[in-house]
Chain A
């Protein structure tokens, strides 16, 4: 397995919200990518946005701008 590092992980209520996040980040050239929700966060399934730790403010601002509500914003080893 890959070596894990501490990352920012944004989870969403729906897949549609996760896809909206990807679209917004691509348009704004914000960093990150969609990953399966890590088990440390939820034992369920679904998509999460994974980005470097120092992007939190940028991502929060972007999400507010496009009206996107996260389920939660975590920091965890990914």
Chain B
């Protein structure tokens, strides 16, 4: 199988990630729940993972790296724990439901949300930030890159705006963490939400949020913390403030190994490789008769995603044909990105998404181009 569904999850992981999970499952106790060797081994691994994530994302304090199960959980914690009725938030049409649904839920409790519209290429107009700003605006909550088009938002530019106006910037790095350089300090990101199983090439069930010092997110879940056991409330200090219950220590051991791989290889090297594969595929399919490609491929940077349709055919049928006839794994449908599909005019048809990772090859990209060309010729 040629796996081109890396925006959903990376299938191929560095072997040391798999090994680290297996070793952890054979040796790890419960972190912070004792001072014996097995418990300390888990606690050391998890603390090391905090240090690695802080270094990877430019988070000043390792103890402000909070681990969760995935980016959705991180975004729910951040969006659910920062705002109050009467506040106003600016977001964008590029968002995934993991941002949209927590925002819509806030709207029902008296928080106002405005969306920067996207054009037919999936681009925003950054001047809309000024147009949408209100006295009660508290934050911009946005993705780093669309999971549908791969279009990247200029977080550094948005970060300058939020800093200038005293707002928070909450960023969803689901499509870019590990696959594109991110520097919270340089980009003025206040809360960075990430998942471990996509570009970071770690296990599913790992993710987190990096919080700038001084940003107070209300605890979401409360419970076992391993410290301050006779207190009736969750400890206020990060990371325990936002971490109740046993960690996914086995998964975090894998994520730690994945971050070591990312650091050794270099995120910029990985990004360049994935961009080259994506560009090779894009250049191959964009001129095929009957193929419509979505997104902005002239922007200076983007994620390694190419979404397309063949004529007016159901994206599910095309994706199924790619899997059944060519052994190519893609993702059709709505991609949990309803506003983006509306902006592109693909609400009914959906789109077929091809997404690339470090472990893909030029041969695979070329095979995918030939498959698209063959299907386009068949349906002509």
Are these two chains actual partners, yes or no?
yes
Listed in ascending order, the chain A residues whose CB lies under 8 Å from chain B are 12-20, 22-23, 34-36, 43-47
Q: What would 17 A/B residue contacts be, using CB atoms closer than 8 Å?
A: A13-B237, A14-B227, A14-B238, A14-B239, A14-B240, A16-B63, A16-B238, A16-B239, A19-B44, A20-B63, A23-B48, A36-B35, A44-B227, A44-B230, A45-B227, A45-B229, A46-B228
Which 8 A-B pairs rank lowest in CB-CB distance, beginning with the nearest? A15-B32, A19-B47, A44-B229, A46-B227, A13-B237, A14-B240, A16-B63, A36-B35
Bound Cα distance from A23 to B48, whole angstroms: 9
Listed in ascending order, the chain B residues whose CB lies under 8 Å from chain A are 31-35, 40, 43-44, 46-48, 50-51, 62-63, 226-231, 235, 237-240
- Chain A nearest CB from B230 CB (Å) reads 5
- Chain A nearest CB from B216 CB (Å) reads 15
Contact B35 A15 (CB under 8 A): no
Minimal Cβ-Cβ distance residue in A for B46: A19
Which A residues are CB-close (under 8 A) to B51? 23
Minimal Cβ-Cβ distance residue in B for A34: B35
Bound Cα distance from A13 to B43, whole angstroms: 15
Bound Cα distance from A3 to B35, whole angstroms: 19
- Chain A nearest CB from B34 CB (Å) reads 7
Contact B230 A47 (CB under 8 A): no
Counting chain B CB atoms within 10 Å of each CB, which of A15, A18, A46, A47 scores highest?
A15
Which A residues are CB-close (under 8 A) to B46? 19
- Chain B nearest CB from A22 CB (Å) reads 7
Which B residues are CB-close (under 8 A) to A19? 43-44, 46-47
Bound Cα distance from A24 to B351, whole angstroms: 51
Contact A36 B34 (CB under 8 A): yes
Bound Cα distance from A36 to B43, whole angstroms: 13
Bound Cα distance from A34 to B32, whole angstroms: 11
